[in-house]
Amino acid sequence: MDVSNAHLLDDAVVTTTLDAVVTWGREASLWPFVFGTACCAIEFMATAASRYDISRFGAEVLRFSPRHADLLVVAGTVSYKQAPILKQIYDQMPEPKWVVAVGACASTGGFYDNYTTLQGIDEIVPVDVYVAGCPPRPEAILDAVISIQKQLKEEPKFTLRHQEFKSKLDNV
């Protein structure tokens, strides 16, 4: 190479840090696993469809295999009977992974204050973002995706997340 023309590379080479590249990739390619059990799942379907178009935020690659997903979206009422299934799905997702509780039922049990309903999925899995509403509008679900993107920008890149979390099913 003619060293006198070395400055020509100025427009052809980009330098950055590994952290910046990894964060950029994660931020722009969240792959959701939707654990949809009730009406809030319909809101998520609207969020993913053309009017709200979750692909604008890079999260349109829905996966129904936990090993392919890094964003667990729990949308709907979760019964105690379903709780171990939810926990197993969470455990099978590779790190790093994030969890969104969509709506009152997933966040708190909602108005199902009874003997069958889990009173919030955070008894079973660690939740990063809670979305209020019964049901929340698609804009609120998109806001949760943006919030996860902001969180992951600020997190250390290669550490296990949620190590401190203790699930009620851990000792069962």
Residues 6+ apart with CB under 8 A from 14: none
**Distance in Å, CB of 134 to ligand SF4, minimum:** 3
Q: Which two tokens stand for residue 116?
A: 């069958």
Among 30, 32, 34, 40, binds ligand SF4 (CB under 6 A): 40
Residues 6+ apart with CB under 8 A from 134: 103, 104, 105, 110, 111
Q: How far apart are CA 122 and CA 91, in angstroms?
A: 14
Question: Which residues face 71 on adjacent strands?
Answer: 32, 98
Region near ligand SF4 per CB under 6 A, out of 11-19, 32-40, 66-74, 145-153: 32-40
Q: Is 138 in the site for ligand SF4 (CB under 6 A)?
A: no
The sign one gets for the Cα dihedral 117, 119, 121, 125 is: negative
Q: Residue 34's CB: how many other CB atoms inside 10 A? A: 23
Beta strand 71-75 with 32-36 is parallel
**Distance in Å, CB of 25 to ligand SF4, minimum:** 32
For ligand SF4, the closer CB: 100 or 105: 105
Binding to ligand SF4 in span 78-137, by CB under 6 A: 103-105, 110, 134-135
Region near ligand SF4 per CB under 6 A, out of 8-16, 33-41, 80-88, 124-132: 33-41
For ligand SF4, the closer CB: 39 or 169: 39
Which chain residues interact with ligand SF4 by CB under 6 A? 38-40, 76-77, 103-105, 110, 134-135
